[in-house]
Amino acid sequence: MVGAYVAATVVALVQYLRLRERRLLLLVALFAFQAQSLAREWFDVWKDVFQVAACACGLGLLLVLTLRHPPRPQPPGR
């Protein structure tokens, strides 16, 4: 399962480097924190810290994606 999150992190990072969309950085962080969380033992305190960080990145991503942006001006028609 950790490998899937690491692969998702790499794919999201490549997409960020290709598109330069800052919202993808939150997705990269979410996948990386979740991979770290799953790689820890159940009794490790850092497992909970990484899980909370992944949840915070998910909520931040939700906030960024749902913010209202002004509509783009339409180009004049023919």
Q: What is the pLDDT of residue 78?
A: 63
Query: Mean pLDDT of successive 10-residue segments in the chain (78 residues)?
Result: 93 93 93 95 94 96 86 74
Q: Is 20 left (phi over 0), alpha (psi -120 to 50) or beta?
A: left
Q: What is the pLDDT of residue 49?
A: 96
- Which has the closest alpha carbon to 15: 6, 5, 25? 25
Q: What is the pLDDT of residue 58?
A: 95
